[in-house]
Homo-oligomer: A and B are copies of this chain.
Amino acid sequence: MNSFGTLLRITTWGESHGKAIGVVVDGCPAGLELNEEDVQQELDKRAPGQSEVMSPRKEADKVEILSGVFEGKTTGMPISMTIYNKDADSSKYEKIKHLLRPGHADFTYQIKYKHRDYRGGGRSSARETAARVAAGAIAKKLLAKYEIKIIAYVKEIAGIKANKINYNEIYKNNVRCPDKTAAKKMEKVILKAKNEGDSVGGICEIVALNVPAGLGKPIYNKLESDLGSAILGINAVKGVEFGAGFGLANMKGSQSNDEFILKNNKIVTKTNNHGGILGGISTGMPIVMRAVVKPASSILKKQKTINYKTMKQETISVEGRHDPATIVRFPPIAEAMTAIVLADHMLMAGKINPDTLLK
């Protein structure tokens, strides 16, 4: 379905080339200062057209808050936000509407629903994630009141890895990489792929700082489950891992176990292979997860496919204004979904009053 969350619940709607997209954020307590600028700022981080490594599509992505805020503060009522679609060009899609774009959801939507808005991928387009970013902006602002900070960045693109993690660097380069040197190489490899009519994949790392110990619910709302579900729900994600992740397959218990130590008379762990979560519950250490984002499916390069009307084999070259590396637009979306999950768990753990922040 199109809702996510328990006490903080978002419901998104809208198609890529429809009239608008939007989101309803339900469960934000009253008393949070909020205006459209707060949300716009996050949307701008996700917007296309910021550099050559992104889709040239020019989305103003101007958000409008229609409810739930009064005199500059949330009221506890659902916050409805709408972003009108301005720069949609559906002409490119008309001629390929019966061709199943490889790697896309055309086939599965067609077989499931028998009727779909094929323009720009319709609902399955990554455009929908703008609505999540808008919702996430509220969650982030709420978490900021409790000093919780979420940072996502590109860790790896086409085999090139970030070796340094400098948070200040992330938005200074075009690929949202915390390592300046790696960023340059990444940019180069993206442009090369773009020129070849191809695309590249990568890995995004998401870190949540100052998350208090005690968030998460056993057994089925473990933080890994809920965060994992949120991240795996983002377009193009095909894997997620926490802490040492898949590296744990080649470790011994004596290596992977993080020893408990005292630091300023507080119990912490010496290492963080557990990625800030034990037994599904936060330990107070930084939450660390990584997601793999597949190469963009829309490529100019010719591929074989089927025309489902004629049931004949054809060749497709997906024109349009596509991202050669969706991974570079991924970090703000990952931050948003992470923020939504953590804010929800802050509420569920009674660490944020679900009704109001005011006294």
Contacts and interface: CB of A to CB of B under 8 A. Distances in A.
A217 B28 CA distance: 12
A78 B15 CA distance: 9
15 contacts: A4-B220, A24-B24, A70-B115, A102-B260, A103-B256, A103-B278, A107-B260, A158-B249, A220-B233, A222-B232, A225-B232, A225-B233, A229-B232, A238-B246, A239-B248
A95 interface: no
B15 A1 contact: no
Given A123-B219, A222-B233, 11 more contacts: A2-B77, A31-B115, A70-B117, A112-B349, A124-B279, A200-B251, A224-B238, A235-B279, A239-B240, A251-B294, A265-B311
Contacts of A293: 248-249
Nearest to A236: B248
A113 to B, nearest CB: 4
A254 interface: yes
A231 B350 CA distance: 27
A73 interface: yes
Contacts of A198: 252-254
A283 interface: yes
Nearest to A30: B113
Contacts of A305: 259-260
A246 B282 contact: no
A256 B239 CA distance: 14
Given A193-B252, A219-B2, A278-B104, A115 B75 contact: yes
Contacts of A301: 253-254
Nearest to A354: B350
A261 B26 contact: no
Interface string A315-359: 000000000000000000000000000000000111011111011
Interface residues of A, number: 151
A185 interface: no
A281 B105 contact: yes
A225 to B, nearest CB: 4
A116 interface: yes
B350 A108 contact: no
A48 interface: no
A111 interface: yes
A136 interface: no
A15 B77 contact: yes
A216 B107 CA distance: 13
Contacts of A115: 30-31, 70-71, 73-76, 356, 358
Contact of A295 (B100, B123, B251, B292): B251
Contacts of A15: 67-68, 70, 75, 77
Given A75-B116, A124-B279, A2 B18 contact: no
A252 B3 contact: no
